[in-house]
Amino acid sequence: MDQRASAFWVRLKANRPTYTLTILATLALGILIGTVVSYGVKGQESKKGSDATPLTVPSPTQLSNQFSQIAKELEPSVVNINTESTIKNPHPRLRRSPGGQGDDDGGGGSPFDDFFDRFFGGQGGQGGPGAGSIKERSLGSGVLVDPKGYIVTNRHVVEKADRIRVRLQDDPPGVLHDAKVIGSDQETDLAVIKIDVDKPLPTAKLGNSDGMQVGDWVLAIGSPFGQVGSVTAGIVSAKGRNIVPGRQFQSFIQTDAAINPGNSGGPLVNMNGEVIGINTAILTETSSYAGVGFALPSNTVVQVYNQLIGPDHRVARGSIGIEFNAQENPAIARVYGVNNGVTISNVVAGSPADQAGLKVGDTITSVDGKPVKNGDELVADIASRKPGTKVNLGLVRNGKKQETAVTVADRAKLFASRLGDEDEGSGQEGPKESKLGLTVRAITPDIADRLDIPAGKGVIVQDVKSGSFGEDVGLTRGDVILEVNKQPVNSEDDFAKVAAALKSGQDVVFLVRQRGGGQQGTIFLAGTLP
């Protein structure tokens, strides 16, 4: 260590208290000056502001606003439907199993025989036992499409109802309007009803369901569990769903918008506020919403509605009377040596196809020169043609191409037994109900063959009115009446004449060929006419 450093340490030791005070004073002054300088800088920044962008609260999104606007626009046209029906001496009915086959107009069992176990679980009906009868009440929805009071709903909402009443959105509590059925269509489960009012009613606008895409937003509006004016939102989950085997006229839009019992018959609406479907069913194991709902496309609704409001109040579809596999199978094409077309698995006896000489194993490849790729295309083409028109079919038989002309028939008459023996229209036209409470129809050759009945014998029971004499004696839909009081009835006119001659207090004996139930074969059913 040099001499200057040594001298410094000597002086530091000698004057340590003085140096310590000096150092502390210096530090205190520095801290004070730094604090003052820091305060001054902060003050200057607060006055000048920062370069940060202020946050703002955005306006409500258009999507949310659009939902509410559509709901407000559509709700006045959506109605609540209340129905009442009385079932006298109820007894279980046999259910038909839906078949795996298709036909040129969608044959197979009734589309709703087992429908409600899985699709809606009974539609929210309520009942209570009475004197040998059950009073059933159910709730549904509908949508006004004409200011004169015409309403579109589901057929199963109003089917067999003794009384139909409609509640409008703007009606005071307790006000209901009686409605009448204009017409209904079993194949699509649609119905048109009407209420009479003294003012124009708000209506919904129908859209084009073909324009909907998977993923598009939709709203379902209706009265689930009687909660009038409920709105739920979802998307189109799928298109072209066939939920009942063999029903070519029921191709549904699938949605995850919440649909529950009571929504049936209400509209499915797109983001333009247009009705693009009628809510019909849900897929469920609990009778409540499970995220899978089905709506009949509006394009189908329009076609059916326009026919139901027509003079006949029924939907007429063409048929040539053939059957084929509902599901395509490559093995069939390979065995029969064809790449495209529809291979016939059955020809209905007496049908236009039978008369034209079509046979099992023939493959239809074209209709009026237009190629046919599958059964859906064939059904759509033939069904759209009016009964009585002729079509030229191209076909392949044993590897050889042929052509034949076929006259299109009325599908409802040709396949009456396949359709559950129900009248296509429930308006003013068609078979009339007799004083016995029965509606009957002539037997087709197909039904006669199945029941082993000579052609031209008997009439088939189309409908039995609840609480009627016919129901009291045990007649059910599908029974074949061969005689009434020993008089043969081989046509609707025969039955009408016999029924008209019957008087109150007279014994009436039916000779009936039953198609199901507890008894089989031909039996007597009898009673005394009230």
3-class SS of residue 129: strand
Q: What is the mean pLDDT of residues 45-63?
A: 71
Residue in 77, 110, 184, 264 annotated catalytic? 264
- Predicted TM-score of the model (pTM): 0.59
d(CA 63, CA 58): 14
189 noted as active-site residue: yes
Total residues found in the chain within this entry: 530
Q: Tokens 């929210």 label which residue?
A: 124
Of 416 and 66, the one with more pLDDT: 66
Residue range 489-502: mean pLDDT, rounded: 88
Q: What is the pLDDT, as a whole number, of residue 201?
A: 94
d(CA 257, CA 294): 10
Please name the residue that has the structure tokens 């589901």: 154
User: Does position 180 have pLDDT exceeding 90, yes or no?
Assistant: yes
User: What gap in Å lies between CA 384 and CA 273, rounded to an integer?
Assistant: 29
> Pick the catalytic residue: 103, 104, 185, 189?
189
Q: Is residue 85's pLDDT more than 60? A: yes
Give the number of other Cβ atoms within 10 Å of residue 465's Cβ.
17
Confidence of residue 3 (pLDDT cuts 50, 70, 90): low
Give me the mean pLDDT over the 46-54 stretch: 75
> What is the average per-residue pLDDT within 371-399?
87
Q: What is the pLDDT of residues 209-218, one digit of tens each?
A: 989 999 999 9
Q: State the pLDDT at residue 406.
A: 93
Of residues 153 and 174, more confidence is placed in: 153
Can you give the pLDDT at residue 474?
Answer: 87
Q: Which of 156, 362, 426, 446 is catalytic?
A: 156
Indicate the average pLDDT of the chain: 77
Range ranked top by mean pLDDT from 129-133, 220-224, 424-428? 220-224
Query: Average pLDDT, stretch 240-268?
Result: 79
Query: Residue 467: exposed, middle, or buried by beta-carbon count in 10 A (0-12, 13-18, 19+)?
Result: middle
Q: Identify which of 92, 91, 86 has the alpha carbon closest to the alpha carbon of residue 133.
A: 86
Distance CA 284, CA 261 (A): 11
- Which pLDDT value is given to residue 418? 52
pLDDT band for 476, please (50, 70, 90 cuts): confident
Q: In this structure, which amino acid lies at residue 286?
A: T
Q: What is the pLDDT of residues 419-437, one digit of tens each?
A: 544 433 333 334 445 678 8
Q: For residue 416, is pLDDT > 70?
A: no
Residue 431: its pLDDT value, please?
A: 46
Cβ contacts of 222 within 8 Å, gap of 6 or more: 78, 141, 230, 259, 262, 263, 264, 265, 266, 267, 279
| DSSP assignment of 201-238 | ---PEE--GGG--TT-EEEEEE-GGG-TTEEEEEEEEE
